[in-house]
Amino acid sequence: MIRGVRGATTVTKNDKDAILQATIEVMEEIQRENHIHPDDISHIIITMTNDLNATFPARALREIKGFQYVPVMCAQEIKVPGSLPRCIRLMVTVNTSKKPDEIHHVYLKEAVHLRPDLSLTNEQETR
């Protein structure tokens, strides 16, 4: 079965190293929480808010072992007044036998406020 795994995080400033580090952090947490291997991944879409443009976040995934063959696309998030600033979002499309309610979506830093209804988000707030 094909499933989407969502992840998001924030950075404190529009900085190349901060964007790359945050992207690696959220992707590695998605992998850990869902027991995902690069071979399980069909593709990844990464978006960033328009206040981030110091680098392509997809570059960060090339630093993770096994990700050199995973198709990744970057895009700009829709600018909505009052939305969370300096946010990086991932949609990881995976082959898995897990049911939708067994998927652990990962929200780190200020992004925990995006989906408080998801169980892992609530767990992240207490860490």
Cβ atoms of 49 and 63 closer than 8 Å: no
- The CATH number given to whatever domain includes residue 85 is 3.30.1330.40
Q: Which domain holds residue 31?
A: 2-125
Spot the catalytic one: 3, 29, 77, 87: 77
Longest CA–CA span in the chain (Å) reads 38
Is 74 noted as a catalytic residue in this protein?
Answer: yes
pTM beyond 0.85: the answer is yes
- What size, in residues, is the chain? 127
Distance, CA of 27 to CA of 71 (rounded, Å): 14
Ordered per-residue pLDDT tens for the chain, 127 residues = 999 999 999 999 999 999 999 999 999 999 999 999 999 999 999 999 999 999 999 999 988 999 999 999 999 999 999 999 999 999 999 999 999 989 999 999 988 878 767 645 445 444 4
User: Which one from 62, 63, 102, 125 is the annotated catalytic residue?
Assistant: 62
Q: Give the total number of structural domains in the chain.
A: 1
